[in-house]
Structure 1
Amino acid sequence: MSLTLKQLRYFAALAEAGSFGTAAARVHVTQPALSLQIKELEERLGVKLVERLPRQLRLTRAGQEVLERTRRILAEVDDLEQAVRWQQGLKGRLNLGVIPTVAPYLLPLALTRIRSHDLTLELRVREAQTDTLLEELRRGRLDAAVVALPVPGPGLVARPIATDRFLLAGSRARLASWAERTEALRPRALAPDQLLLLDEGHCLAEQALEVCGLSGRRQVDLGASSLSTLVGLVAEGFGLTLLPEMSVVTESAAAPNLSLLRFSAPEPARELALVRRESSSDSGWMDDLARLLTEAADALLVQARRIVPEAAAA
């Protein structure tokens, strides 16, 4: 009996889920059926892959090695399937990941354009933090992801789609004194104890620390798990934050008390890009998708600059 892709997929699901019941639900089979496939895989390989403990399971050393190779094999199979899907460009099925500080702002405009490009396209969107998206991309669960550069690690190809500048956000009262100053407004002038950031794990928080010249989070009063919550806090006077230009249209409408200022040139910014695996096939679909995303991003940024004109920069 030979190894099967079904066995490998079941084993990968088991390793990630940490229990037979959860893994069986993920792959839509009964627990006995999944257990049988894992047992047959162990018999075929001649090694024990899983330690079955009373309340948990643990991979053996052989199991860890098999899991690493299994993930590579499944990623290659997914790339093969993708190569066939994308022979005629952006058609068929698209699994797209987007970071949370971009998804609610870019997706509504981008999805309209993507649907107009091909109404038959089956689109699945995954919103998650950068590390999660890149891991799922490398494992073949995503075809592409929208993240902020730089992208850590090898094996990925990035296509820039937008330069998203940061604005200073706070209440009208807090920003009034900043607006009256004659000197250039720089991120490094912000007091660390006034700066609110997203929770750890969000790349936007790390970018804000970098542009403000702060060495660590211990200096900063941490803020919220979502950008909308963070905006609500600073709009009511609870500190200041750096707001991506792409979010201005939505967040300024939702928080009437929010005030925004542009930093002096050169304005701090993040580079957003569409990323795919280097090993995946590209018959032009990435160019099509990047173009549609860029069009949507440009439309958002034009609207943002009407709300906070570039001429307002000191």
Structure 2
Amino acid sequence: MRVEIPPLDKVDIRLLRVFKAVTECNGFAAAEETLGLGRSTISIHIADLETRFGLKLCVRGPSGFSLTPQGQVVYEATLRLFSEINSFRTTVAGSKGQLMGELTIWQMENIASDRLNPLVGALRRFRERSNGVEITMNVVPSNDVERGVYDGRCDLGLTGSRSPLNGLKYEQAYSERISLYCGSKHPLFDRSASALSDDDLRQVDFVRRGFLTRQQEMVETNWNSTVVSMHVEATLEFILTGLHIGYLPDQYSAAWVDLGILRKINPERFSVDWPVYIVSRESNAPSVLVSTFRDDLLSESRQLANQEAN
């Protein structure tokens, strides 16, 4: 029996929002707080949507929550649908000289304390205009920012990684200083930089950052690595064990350096200015919201750079 997909109405949009939240929260229970709904109500909504479309969208069981192949198709189509709805609202509001709609920004972790981070100033600039925009921000690993922009889960982001994904536009916002660190319990902690040889460094256990390719890692020697970190905080925790060395942002590490439990290893050789990018989707006609906020980020970046130079 062929099941027709009915024309969408307001109820379908509401149910799709529930489905989107459940998918992105990876389960019904985790979506309760996001949606402000009880688990039984969420379950009813998903069942109604499955009945409406004649499709099994997700599976719940001992192994956890997962989308069916049809559910994955519906989720991806839902992202495109909501993006187009938001674009329609934004375009119509823009024709009246207004900013309206939803803007989702993802940023990599642990950059809030960086004095060159333009995000706070850009938010102030954006809100100085009269607008009814709902802004959502999320903090995720650096490479997840790119994937989020690529697949439409967010509109633009700030990231320290740059992947070969087609259709993404990268613009450098600023640079953060990255250095190689060891903890006070590590054998290299009390060794001077001049006393460290390449043979010494080949004996270390290096924290490899899982969101970078090996070509992107700043490793000059064939270092051993038995641990992988997906977050800056996890890298720090590995280093503090005294068993590993790894790269950390200087602004993030400063508090532990001041406490005497972290130190740089040969900063003349193993420190670098790492670019932080504004990433957005390539488009001949970008959203008014995205282009406006992107311009605010770039303007704030230039102002902060000038202040730093003076």
TM range, smaller chain: 0.5 to 0.7
Q: Aligned pair count?
A: 290
**Aligned residue in 2 for 1:197:** 207
Structure holding more helix per residue: 1
Cα 1:155–1:177 change in 2 (3 A) is same
Match of 1:278 among 268, 275, 282: 282
**Aligned residue in 2 for 1:156:** 168
The letter for the 1-side match of 2:246 is T
In the alignment, is residue 12 of structure 1 matched against residue 12 of structure 2? no
**Aligned residue in 1 for 2:267:** 262
Q: TM-score, normalised by structure 1?
A: 0.66
Alignment check: 8 A CA contact 2:207 2:238 kept = no
Question: 3-state SS of the aligned residue for 1:153?
Answer: coil
Alignment check: 8 A CA contact 1:162 1:298 kept = no
Match of 1:27 among 22, 35, 44: 35
Q: Which moved more, 1:63-72 or 1:87-96?
A: 87-96
In the alignment, is residue 242 of structure 1 matched against residue 247 of structure 2? yes
**Aligned residue in 2 for 1:310:** none
Mapped partners of 2:175, 2:214: distance in 1: 14
Shift of 1:286: 0.7
Mapped partners of 1:127, 1:30: distance in 2: 26
Alignment of 1:157-236 (within 5 A): 157-170=169-182, 174=189, 176-179=191-194, 191-197=201-207, 201-203=210-212, 210-213=217-220, 219-222=224-227, 227=232
Alignment check: 8 A CA contact 2:179 2:264 kept = no
In the alignment, is residue 66 of structure 1 matched against residue 66 of structure 2? no
Alignment check: 8 A CA contact 2:205 2:243 kept = no
Shift of 1:223: 8.0
Cα 1:223–1:25 change in 2 (3 A) is closer
Shift of 1:6: 1.4
Shift of 1:243: 3.7
Alignment check: 8 A CA contact 2:83 2:152 kept = yes
Cα 1:93–1:9 change in 2 (3 A) is closer
Mapped partners of 2:159, 2:56: distance in 1: 39
Shift of 1:211: 2.2
Mapped partners of 2:65, 2:124: distance in 1: 47
Shift of 1:60: 3.9
**Aligned residue in 2 for 1:41:** 49
**Aligned residue in 1 for 2:3:** none
Shift of 1:127: 1.9
Q: Give RMSD over aligned pairs.
A: 4.6
Alignment of 1:290-305 (within 5 A): 290-293=298-301, 295-296=303-304
Structure holding more strand per residue: 2
Shift of 1:212: 0.9
Q: Which moved more, 1:81-90 or 1:279-288?
A: 81-90
Question: 3-state SS of the aligned residue for 2:203?
Answer: helix
CA displacement, residues 156-195 of structure 1 (integer Å, 9 cap, x when unaligned): 22111224454343479747542368xxx9xx77724325
Cα 1:94–1:126 change in 2 (3 A) is same
Mapped partners of 2:61, 2:243: distance in 1: 49
Mapped partners of 1:296, 1:147: distance in 2: 18
Match of 1:144 among 156, 162, 168: 156
Mapped partners of 1:92, 1:72: distance in 2: 15
Identity of aligned residues (%): 20
Mapped partners of 1:17, 1:236: distance in 2: 32
Stretches of structure 2 that go unaligned for 5 or more consecutive residues are 1-5
Alignment check: 8 A CA contact 1:99 1:146 kept = yes
